[in-house]
C-alpha cells in the first residue's frame, strides 16, 4: 500500500498489517480509510493468516478527539455505524487474525484487537478503554467483545474506571492469549502468526464459523452448522493430504497449502 498510515507486508503465507502514524498512531478518518483500503487489498490477494501490529513506543494513544468535535446524536450514530464496518470485516476474514500489542493500546486499538481471533501482548503492554475522559462509552464494539472474553463484570470495571490494565491482568482475565518478553516480542509474535498461516486454512475458517455461531446462539446453534461446515473439509486438498500423511508417516508430518 502507498498510504503511510498503514502498510501491508508479506512473509510467505502470512500478511502483516502495520499501523505507522507517528508519534502515537492516533485514529482519525484518514486512518479509518487506510485500514479499509488495506482490507480491500487483502480481499484481492488473501493470505492464510494476518498479523496486526504497530510501530513506535505505543500501539496507539487513542482517537484524535477532533473527530468528535461538533458531532450530533445523528452524526455520532452514523460515525459508529461506519466504524463497525471495519470491526465486522476483520472478524469475518476467513483465516486467523492475530493482534500484537505493545506499549499502550488504548480505545480503538483495543477494540480492534478484540475483533481479532487472538491477542498477543508484550510483557510491558498496558490496555485501556478510557473513553470516559470525553464522556463517551467505547462504541466500536469494545464493551460487548470484552464481555465475551472477560465476562460482563470485568468489562464494566474496565470501562467504568477508565484505568490501565497490564498484560498479565488481561491474560488472567482471558482477554490476552499469550504474553512474551519485550525483547523477543516482535519475533515471537511473527513466529506464532506464521505458524498459524502454515496451518490448514480452511479448517481454521471452519473453526471460526463454529465458534462465532456458538457466541451468537449457543452450543446447539453451533451444533446445527457443524455438519455442513466441517463436512466440507473432506473436499479440501489439505485434509486429503494430511490423512494420507498420517496413514503413511504418522502424526505431525503433514504440510498444508491452504486449499
Q: Is the pLDDT of residue 3 over 90?
A: no
Architecture of the domain made up of 6-197: Alpha-Beta Complex (3.90)
The pLDDT of residue 1 is 45
Reply yes or no on whether the pLDDT at 233 is more than 60.
yes
Q: What residues does each domain of the chain span?
A: 6-197, 201-249
With bands split at pLDDT 50, 70 and 90, how would you rate the model's confidence at 103?
very high
The gap between the terminal CA atoms of the chain, to the nearest Å, is: 26
pLDDT in tens, 194-203: 999 999 999 9
**Cβ distance 205 to 95 under 8 Å?**
yes
- Mean pLDDT for 208-217 is 96
Look at residue 2 in the predicted model and tell me its pLDDT: 45
Q: Residues 100-128: what's their mean pLDDT?
A: 98
Mind giving me the DSSP string for 78-124?
Answer: HHHHHHHHHHHHHHT-SS-EEEEE-SEEETHHHHHHHTSSEEEEETT
Mean pLDDT taken over the chain? 96
User: Which grid cell sits at 129?
Assistant: 478503554
Q: What does the pLDDT read at residue 4?
A: 79
What percentage of the chain carries pLDDT values higher than 70?
99
The set of residues, in sequence order, having a beta carbon less than 8 Å from that of 140 and lying 6+ positions away, is 80, 83, 84, 86, 87, 108, 111, 112
Output the pLDDT for position 84.
Answer: 95
pLDDT > 90 fraction of the chain, expressed in percent and rounded: 95
Amino acid at each position: 500500500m502507498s498510504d503511510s498510515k498503514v502498510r501491508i507486508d508479506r512473509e510467505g503465507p502470512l500478511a502483516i498489517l502495520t499501523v505507522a502514524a507517528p508519534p502515537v498512531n492516533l485514529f482519525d478518518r484518514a486512518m479509518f480509510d487506510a485500514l479499509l483500503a488495506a482490507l480491500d487489498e487483502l480481499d484481492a490477494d488473501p493470505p492464510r493468516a494476518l498479523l496486526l501490529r504497530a510501530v513506535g513506543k505505543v500501539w496507539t494513544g487513542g482517537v484524535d478527539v477532533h473527530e468528535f468535535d461538533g458531532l450530533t446524536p445523528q452524526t455520532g450514530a452514523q460515525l459508529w455505524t461506519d466504524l463497525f464496518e471495519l470491526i465486522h470485516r476483520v472478524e469475518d476474514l476467513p483465516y486467523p487474525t492475530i493482534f500484537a500489542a505493545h506499549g499502550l493500546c488504548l480505545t480503538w486499538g483495543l477494540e480492534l484487537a478484540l475483533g481479532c481471533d487472538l491477542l498477543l501482548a508484550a510483557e510491558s503492554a498496558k490496555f485501556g478503554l478510557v473513553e470516559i475522559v470525553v464522556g463517551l462509552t467505547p462504541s466500536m464494539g469494545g464493551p460487548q467483545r470484552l464481555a465475551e472474553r472477560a465476562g460482563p463484570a470485568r468489562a464494566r470495571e474496565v470501562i467504568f474506571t477508565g484505568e490501565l490494565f497490564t498484560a498479565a491482568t488481561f491474560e488472567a482475565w482471558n482477554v490476552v492469549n499469550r504474553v512474551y518478553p519485550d525483547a523477543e516480542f516482535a519475533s515471537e509474535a511473527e513466529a506464532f502468526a506464521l505458524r498459524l498461516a502454515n496451518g490448514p486454512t480452511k479448517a481454521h475458517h471452519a473453526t471460526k464459523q463454529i465458534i462465532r455461531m456458538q457466541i451468537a446462539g449457543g452450543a446447539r446453534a453451533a451444533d446445527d452448522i457443524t455438519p455442513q461446515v466441517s463436512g466440507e473439509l473432506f473436499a479440501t486438498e489439505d485434509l486429503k493430504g494430511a490423512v494420507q500423511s498420517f496413514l503413511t508417516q504418522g502424526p505431525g508430518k503433514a504440510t498444508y497449502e491452504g486449499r
